[in-house]
Chains A and B, each alone.
Chain A
Amino acid sequence: GAGVSQSPRYKVAKRGQDVALRCDPISGHVSLFWYQQALGQGPEFLTYFQNEAQLDKSGLPSDRFFAERPEGSVSTLKIQRTQQEDSAVYLCASSLGEATGAFFGQGTRLTVV
């Protein structure tokens, strides 16, 4: 596609439910990032992939968060046993390489009730 695509756009989950958020980066983009943006705040880094390798996952807030990019293109961010504090917009960004600009998806707004 022409841009970074994320799905779903909106997700409401009951506390304790598992969710999976999908990111389709721009074709050919090597780098892929996940960010979490709480209401009224700037995005916070979660994790980074270069191709299929997860090079940095230091931003994942707990072991309930897991991300994968098995074939170096589509990525999935999974949150197990969701809690209310997980409510946020989850942003995916991709770039051609480390020295190039990042393109962001529209984000997935997760609300845990």
Chain B
Amino acid sequence: KNEVEQSPQNLTAQEGEFITINCSYSVGISALHWLQQHPGGGIVSLFMLSSGKKKHGRLIATINIQEKHSSLHITASHPRDSAVYICAVKTSGSRLTFGEGTQLTVNP
């Protein structure tokens, strides 16, 4: 069992839909990252969370430390949101442990 599990693996939505991607982890963490990866490999850090909730534009990230669970929400989704979304946790030391990613496709 992976230390970081994401669901769903693949998600297809229509433009305008509200999207949720989930991340569960089984280890103690100091922080959790949500990352966006576009074709070609470039990774952009969306959020770094250690508690509560953060919002940036149409993106919202929440974390429940007790339940070891985080969610990434996208409101009013748009085709340009299509990408792989990756959850990564910072455990002991400084390394990040990554989930497998969620491939999101938003159709017009």
Give the B-binding residues of A (Cβ under 8 A): 31, 33, 35, 37, 41-45, 48, 50, 55-56, 59, 89, 91, 93, 95, 98-104, 106-107, 109
Contacts and interface: CB of A to CB of B under 8 A. Distances in A.
Contacts of A59: 95
A87 to B, nearest CB: 14
Contact of A107 (B41, B44, B48, B94): B41
Interface of B: 4, 30-31, 33, 35, 40-45, 48, 86, 88, 93-101
Contacts, number: 64
A54 to B, nearest CB: 12
B99 A42 contact: yes
Contacts of A41: 100-101
Chain B contact residues, majority secondary structure: strand
B93 A48 contact: yes
Chain A contact residues, majority secondary structure: strand
Given A106-B41, A106-B42, A109-B41, A101 B33 contact: yes
Given A35-B98, A50-B94, A101-B48, 13 more contacts: A33-B95, A33-B96, A37-B41, A42-B88, A42-B98, A42-B100, A43-B86, A45-B95, A98-B94, A99-B30, A102-B45, A102-B96, A106-B41
Given A41-B100, A42-B86, A42-B100, A33 B42 contact: no
